[in-house]
Structure 1
Amino acid sequence: MRPKTIDEIVGQQHLVGQNKIIYRMVKAKRLTSMILYGPPGIGKTSIASAIAGSTEFAFRQLNAAIDGKKELKIVAEEAKMSGTVVLLLDEIHRLDKTKQDFLLPMLESGKIVLIGATTENPYISISPAIRSRTEIFELHSLDPKDISQALNRALSDTKNGLKKYNVSLTEDARKLLITRSNGDLRNALNGLELAVLSSSSSDDESGKTVIDVPIIEESIQKHNISADKNGDSHYNLLSAFQKSIRGSDTDAALHYLARLILSGDLISIIRRLTVIVFEDIGLANPQAWVHTMAAIEAAEKVGFPEARIPLSNAVIELCLSPKSNASLTAIDSAINDIQNNQTGDIPNHIKDAHYNGAEKLGNGVGYLYPHDFDNDFVAQAYLPDKLSDAKYFHPKGNGKFETALKNQYQKLKELQRKGRH
């Protein structure tokens, strides 16, 4: 059922639709090397095959993880003898330097049009040398209409599809198949094929074999939304999880938490919650720190599936809690000053004076011990002279605790200012 021409491709219309970039390249027969990246089963190989079919160029397929320089040489020789070859190189993120160095001159000459396919972000996982010689196109999971269209083609195609089996797919079974595929057309077609081939008896008066919900449930696996814990899609999922909590969208956060739970990656969930409670909630609600750490400890003790319960408690509280990143911006601002050589000498009166000879150097001389004064406070300089007016902490006053901190901070800053002048 793989498309033979660019017009037969299902989905990815932002690239292959009429007058879109790949469509225009094919129609003009002016191909350039490219990298296609996105989740599995969404058309990377199909697009490469269709490009070759639409342009009548020879099409070869290799895998960067398995095939070696020997196989690349064979493709290169073919390109030298017969003209341009479209080479689909699957898992291009695993291309080693030896194979890369062999390929680069072929890409420069145009003898090989490379179409690299990867599920990983090429800006992270692919070498700059390859990236600079290719266009990078992101593919997206197929929507239900695309999957349904492909299923119709498979059921109505006599030569390459399943029409000869005379089957009828119920509407509920179709919906389940589309839902379970989660935008992965290969997964949907594999499930449909298994359902048809394992159901040979006629179930209705027309003589057709009916494919219903129970058959589809047995024929297609539940899609593991984030099976690759090191893949780009998994990091996108973690990013969406944190940003939904930061944005106080409880339902979105629970959605992404559910996807992470189904991936089985408890460690990543715990790490991300630990960051969130200090980065995004911060001083606005210190009680959230206590509750989140308790939820994390409980989740670690019980493991999945029960861990989902304390994790859900923590996520809901974090979403509905007041937010503040004042402590994050404060330390980052201080680090930025130091990285830009804004340091200066530590004032002598607060230098270490616990050794013989320290007083001769002026260390500790003039230091005022705060506990000897009313309210355990006395104004004196603590920052280096060149940074005496530095102000890193900018409390927002989100929540009662941070409001109290803000008032106290401003009061103490004013007392320090008056004490210095």
Structure 2
Amino acid sequence: MQQPLAYRMRPTKIEDIVGQQDLVGPGKIINRMVQAKMLSSMILYGPPGTGKTSIASAIAGSTEYAFRTLNAATDSKKELQIVAEEAKMSGTVVLLLDEIHRLDKAKQDFLLPLLEKGSIILIGATTENPYISINPAIRSRTQIFEVHPLTPDDIIQAIQRALTDSQNGLANYHVKIANDALDFLSKATNGDLRTALNALELAVKSTNGDSDGNVNISLAIIEECLQRKSLSSDKNGDAHYDVISALQKSIRGSDTDAALHYASRLIAAGDLVSLMRRLLVIAYEDIGLANPAACARTVSAVDAARQLGLPEARIPLANAIIELALSPKSNSAMSAIDGALSDVKTGNFGDVPDHLKDAHYKGATDLGHGVDYKYPHDYPNDWVNQQYLPDKIKRAQYYIPKENGKIEQRLKAQYEQLRKATRPNNY
């Protein structure tokens, strides 16, 4: 039986990887490891279909090491022992261990000494946050890299490669895909290349050729094979992003009915992922400190929606949408962190004050590190006036409080009282 298109199109060398150029592009960390043949074990985490397996396969192909794939949840310790024996006989083996967050203690204890020796280069793949879900013993022996959903341009690049590949792809079918179908396929899969390629293959193989032997793929065919509807029939390719933008602006503008309308467009299109992600962004970007409880309830609503799936997912999300639209708004937290980041990125900062530097090592006192630090818990009300910012930016103010909700009104009063105590010359 022939393997799915997404499997057949997996890259065999690092240069063929689509997306994730911050990791595998020229001069980037994984590319450097491959070029120098100085591989270290790593954990790749991110959503499904974003290239974790492809990166592992390409690393093995580029370094000409043996490549093996196991699943931490379903494969036994015996399978790990077989890989270990192969490494002992033939040299280094690159092992992709899928669902590494499901690794039990027996398998972990078996792997650890092999990782220490370097006979197995472990590439763990997971959709879970490794800092939470993976045992510290494994984390300490690996580098952790986050992979991100592919962009529509990445997806289009991979689709076009598949359509012109006569050995592993679909070139022999003489496919002609309509521009709106290609655009929809690249966007509706939310950065999941596996889903995009497998839907494309289904579309091609289930469509009869025309009199010239060409297979013509329309938007309607892609919609059917993806089981998702296009948000719009327009030809500019911006409908998906326009709807998401309109959703956020409607909530920001406190128009509940408009927000529910645009959310319904995403639900009708089956785009639950974009809707959930955007609601999380809106909660913390636009409501923020004016109503932190609404932010927390949005997270709970998204978690519930993720577990329920459509159609029931619409119910907790509707609760969140209505509350966010009617809530007081504040973007002060986002503006504050963006201001601080701007200073850092432009080099507008100085050294950490000596009294705040780490003093937990021999010789720190001789350098003046930690000297004169005042421990707040030793003082009344657990607070004492001392400088925390570097001298160069000691008068900087990033947080500009708003008064659009009772919570931030209280935060503003506290913030201004503390600034008056620590920076009296600013007032």
Q: TM-score, normalised by structure 2?
A: 0.60
Q: CA RMSD in A?
A: 4.6
Q: Distance in 1 between matches of 2:20 and 2:408?
A: 50
* Alignment partner, residue 211 of structure 1: 217
Q: Distance in 1 between matches of 2:120 and 2:139?
A: 15
> Residue 173 and residue 277 in structure 1: after superposition, are their counterparts in 2 closer, same or farther (change >3 A)?
closer
Q: Distance in 1 between matches of 2:86 and 2:78?
A: 13
The answer on 1:398 being equivalent to 2:403 is yes
* Alignment partner, residue 328 of structure 1: none
Q: Distance in 1 between matches of 2:288 and 2:147?
A: 32
State the Cα distance separating 1:181 from its structure 2 match. Answer: 1.3
Q: Distance in 2 between matches of 1:201 and 1:176?
A: 22
Q: Distance in 1 between matches of 2:161 and 2:283?
A: 48
State the Cα distance separating 1:209 from its structure 2 match. Answer: 1.4
State the Cα distance separating 1:275 from its structure 2 match. Answer: 11
> Residue 15 and residue 250 in structure 1: after superposition, are their counterparts in 2 closer, same or farther (change >3 A)?
farther
CA offsets 1:306-336 (integer angstroms, 9 cap, x no match): 77666534322225x46999xxxxxxxxxxx
Q: Distance in 1 between matches of 2:382 and 2:54?
A: 64
Find the residue that maps to 2:403 and give its secondary structure.
coil
* Alignment partner, residue 325 of structure 2: 316
The answer on 1:221 being equivalent to 2:227 is yes
Q: Distance in 2 between matches of 1:388 and 1:46?
A: 52
* Alignment partner, residue 175 of structure 1: 183
> Residue 272 and residue 56 in structure 1: after superposition, are their counterparts in 2 closer, same or farther (change >3 A)?
closer
CA contact (8 A) 1:254 1:315 kept: no
Letter in structure 1 aligned against 2:176:
S
Q: Distance in 2 between matches of 1:267 and 1:13?
A: 26
CA contact (8 A) 1:173 1:212 kept: yes
Letter in structure 2 aligned against 1:101:
D
How many corresponding residue pairs?
A: 305
Find the residue that maps to 1:15 and give its secondary structure.
helix
Q: Distance in 2 between matches of 1:104 and 1:222?
A: 44
The answer on 1:71 being equivalent to 2:79 is yes
The answer on 1:101 being equivalent to 2:106 is no
Q: Distance in 2 between matches of 1:103 and 1:80?
A: 13
CA contact (8 A) 1:64 1:90 kept: yes
* Alignment partner, residue 236 of structure 1: none
CA contact (8 A) 2:279 2:321 kept: no
Q: Distance in 1 between matches of 2:110 and 2:405?
A: 64
> Residue 155 and residue 64 in structure 1: after superposition, are their counterparts in 2 closer, same or farther (change >3 A)?
same
Find the residue that maps to 1:26 and give its secondary structure.
helix
* Alignment partner, residue 195 of structure 2: 187
> Residue 82 and residue 267 in structure 1: after superposition, are their counterparts in 2 closer, same or farther (change >3 A)?
closer
Letter in structure 1 aligned against 2:137:
A
Q: Distance in 1 between matches of 2:323 and 2:90?
A: 63
> Residue 250 and residue 16 in structure 1: after superposition, are their counterparts in 2 closer, same or farther (change >3 A)?
farther
Unaligned 5+ residue runs, structure 1? 224-243, 293-302, 326-338, 343-385, 391-395, 410-421
Find the residue that maps to 2:327 and give its secondary structure.
helix
CA offsets 1:219-245 (integer angstroms, 9 cap, x no match): 11349xxxxxxxxxxxxxxxxxxxx89
State the Cα distance separating 1:144 from its structure 2 match. Answer: 1.2
CA contact (8 A) 1:16 1:23 kept: yes
State the Cα distance separating 1:59 from its structure 2 match. Answer: 0.5
Find the residue that maps to 1:54 and give its secondary structure.
helix
Q: Distance in 2 between matches of 1:114 and 1:312?
A: 42
> Residue 403 and residue 153 in structure 1: after superposition, are their counterparts in 2 closer, same or farther (change >3 A)?
closer
> Residue 213 and residue 78 in structure 1: after superposition, are their counterparts in 2 closer, same or farther (change >3 A)?
same
* Alignment partner, residue 143 of structure 1: 151
Describe how 1:347-358 pairs up with structure 2 within 5 A: none
Letter in structure 2 aligned against 1:14:
D
Describe how 1:148-159 pairs up with structure 2 within 5 A: 148-159=156-167
Q: Distance in 2 between matches of 1:190 and 1:403?
A: 49
CA contact (8 A) 2:45 2:147 kept: yes
* Alignment partner, residue 45 of structure 1: 53
Q: Distance in 2 between matches of 1:389 and 1:25?
A: 48
Letter in structure 2 aligned against 1:65:
A
Q: Distance in 1 between matches of 2:198 and 2:57?
A: 19
CA contact (8 A) 1:84 1:112 kept: yes
Find the residue that maps to 1:316 and give its secondary structure.
helix
Letter in structure 1 aligned against 2:97:
L
> Residue 172 and residue 27 in structure 1: after superposition, are their counterparts in 2 closer, same or farther (change >3 A)?
same
* Alignment partner, residue 244 of structure 2: none
CA contact (8 A) 2:289 2:407 kept: no
Describe how 1:322-333 pairs up with structure 2 within 5 A: none
* Alignment partner, residue 280 of structure 1: 289
Q: Distance in 2 between matches of 1:114 and 1:64?
A: 12
> Residue 150 and residue 278 in structure 1: after superposition, are their counterparts in 2 closer, same or farther (change >3 A)?
closer
> Residue 161 and residue 306 in structure 1: after superposition, are their counterparts in 2 closer, same or farther (change >3 A)?
same
Q: TM-score, normalised by structure 1?
A: 0.61
Q: Distance in 2 between matches of 1:141 and 1:404?
A: 38
Q: Distance in 2 between matches of 1:198 and 1:137?
A: 38
Q: Distance in 2 between matches of 1:405 and 1:131?
A: 41
Q: Distance in 2 between matches of 1:274 and 1:179?
A: 24
CA contact (8 A) 1:324 1:398 kept: no
Describe how 1:199-278 pairs up with structure 2 within 5 A: 199-202=207-210, 206-222=212-228, 263=272
CA offsets 1:271-307 (integer angstroms, 9 cap, x no match): 9999999983369xx9x9xxx9xxxxxxxxxx76577
State the Cα distance separating 1:404 from its structure 2 match. Answer: 11
CA offsets 1:347-388 (integer angstroms, 9 cap, x no match): xxxxxxxxxxxxxxxxxxxxxxxxxxxxxxxxxxxxxxx769
Letter in structure 1 aligned against 2:326:
E
> Residue 262 and residue 81 in structure 1: after superposition, are their counterparts in 2 closer, same or farther (change >3 A)?
same
Letter in structure 1 aligned against 2:188:
R
Q: Distance in 1 between matches of 2:159 and 2:288?
A: 46
Q: Distance in 2 between matches of 1:192 and 1:270?
A: 30
Q: Distance in 2 between matches of 1:130 and 1:63?
A: 16
